[in-house]
Amino acid sequence: MFAPSGTGVSRTFRVSIFRCYVVAAALCFFAAGLLVISLQYASRKELANRLDQLKSLAGARDTRFDEIARERSRLQRELSSLASFDDSLRVIHDLETVPADVREAGVGGPLTNITQMIKFGRDKNVDDLELALRQAQLQNDSFGEIITAQTRTRHIFDHTPAIKPCSGHICSGFCWRRNPIFGGVQFHKGIDIAIPTGAPIVAPANGVVTFAGMKGGYGYCVFIRHGYGFETRYGHCSVLTVGEGQPVSRGDIIAYVGATGWATGPHLHYEVLVGRTHVDPAQYILPDYLID
């Protein structure tokens, strides 16, 4: 029933129950459609947001890869520079240079799985970093070998006669000469250094005293075994300050100059032997600037 105001007339409309169902169904269908559209819109917006995030992550990853590529190039330049330095050091220490193909492949280095350390996944940068790691390990091994060689070289040098045992000038060389006491031509197996009695005599290299005492024409003398085949002898001393079996270092005072034994005056008779063969001691007196 319908009654408009002010007319006093009322009208009656009849609506069948079927039409009510149709209208209700239409309204439900409309609401469901609206809901589906809303859900699709929300889903697409979520996908769009996710896509933006992925694009952002991809951009950050590309930036990171670019940084890694730059660092890789810098690392390879540093390794190349170290390789050149390494070659020079190995030549100095009489070691074979590392073949270029071995150095290039980094053979000998550990195969550390750096892939697991990098979250971005595997690409050429990762392969190159693994190679650089092996090359760096090879370089490290080579430097270790050089240090060992350098230590050995230093040890050899420390045990090689290298300084004049006392000041004064060389008055008789390593040569044939007329014996000043007995006459006749005789080979002089050392050098004579003229210097007043009491001047200190120092060891020209590290070693161990093998004899200290009186011995024939040497008079009071000291023999030192240095290792590597070197032996030195010091004759005509006045006072000995070392004993047999005593280790000495280069520069240690071992005796004082005198004129004992077959000597015409105070001087040091100095001999150097290599492999039990006498050699010219003058060849084992290096300039001061070569000695520490």
For binding to Zn ion (CB under 5 A), which residues are involved? Answer: 192, 269
Q: How far is the CB of 207 from Zn ion (least distance, A)?
A: 21
Q: How far is the CB of 227 from Zn ion (least distance, A)?
A: 25
Residue number closest to Zn ion, CB atom: 269
Token duo for residue 125: 């940068």
The answer to whether residues 254 and 183 touch, using CB atoms and an 8 Å cutoff, is no
Taking the least distance from each CB to Zn ion, the nearer of 103 and 269 is 269
Taking the least distance from each CB to Zn ion, the nearer of 108 and 168 is 168
Taking the least distance from each CB to Zn ion, the nearer of 192 and 231 is 192
Q: How far is the CB of 241 from Zn ion (least distance, A)?
A: 21
Q: How far is the CB of 256 from Zn ion (least distance, A)?
A: 17
Q: How far is the CB of 243 from Zn ion (least distance, A)?
A: 24
Q: How far is the CB of 248 from Zn ion (least distance, A)?
A: 22
Q: How far is the CB of 88 from Zn ion (least distance, A)?
A: 43
User: Are β-strands 247-248 and 207-215 bridged in parallel, bridged antiparallel, or unpaired?
Assistant: antiparallel
The answer to whether residues 176 and 188 touch, using CB atoms and an 8 Å cutoff, is yes
Cα–Cα distance measured from residue 194 to residue 265, given in angstroms and rounded to the nearest whole number? 9
Contacts of 19 (CB under 8 A, 6+ apart): none
Burial 34-57 (b: 16+ CB within 10 A, else e): eeeeeeeeeeeeeeeeeeeeeeee
**Helix, strand, coil proportions of the chain in percent (round to 5)?**
45, 25, 30
Helix (H) or strand (E) holding 78: helix 17-92
Q: How far is the CB of 87 from Zn ion (least distance, A)?
A: 47
153: left (phi over 0), alpha (psi -120 to 50) or beta: alpha
Find how far residue 35's CA is from the centre of its chain: 72
Taking the least distance from each CB to Zn ion, the nearer of 233 and 250 is 233
Cα–Cα distance measured from residue 272 to residue 281, given in angstroms and rounded to the nearest whole number? 5
Taking the least distance from each CB to Zn ion, the nearer of 193 and 203 is 193
Taking the least distance from each CB to Zn ion, the nearer of 191 and 242 is 191
Taking the least distance from each CB to Zn ion, the nearer of 226 and 269 is 269
What angle, 0 to 180 degrees and rounded to 10, lies between the N-to-C axes of helices 124-158 and 17-92? 20
